[in-house]
Amino acid sequence: MEQINFIGIEPENLINEIVSKVKDSLLADLTQTFKNNEPKRYLSAGEVCERFGVTKPTIHEWRKRGILKSHKLGSRVYYRLDEIENAMIVND
């Protein structure tokens, strides 16, 4: 078997560097895949208040101004977590 010599780097260090880069790339790809396939989580107004430290009148005002989009299920109103987070980023 022919041996390849790299100047300035030991073969073991080269292997470790390659493995590290492949792991980082795979982790980033898997994280993005799972994030895109995550089920949509809906929160009630009370849960939004607790999670983000705002009051119900604030949530109602955001809904009236079109900052938040609400989703009705029967007589209940819910908000998608990802939409709330995006609204917080955009309107910061």
- Each of the 92 residues of the chain gets a pLDDT tens digit; together they read 677 667 788 888 888 989 999 999 999 988 888 776 666 789 999 999 998 899 999 999 999 999 899 999 899 999 998 888 888 887 76
The pLDDT value recorded for residue 21 is 92
Tokens (6 digits) for 27: 């982790």
| pTM for this entry | 0.54
Neighbours of 61 (CB within 10 A): 13
Total residue length of the chain: 92
For the chain, the domains span: 10-38, 42-90
Amino acid at 46: G
The pLDDT value recorded for residue 13 is 87
The pLDDT value recorded for residue 77 is 92
Query: Which alpha helices (H) appear in 37-80, and where do they start and end?
Result: 45-52, 56-64
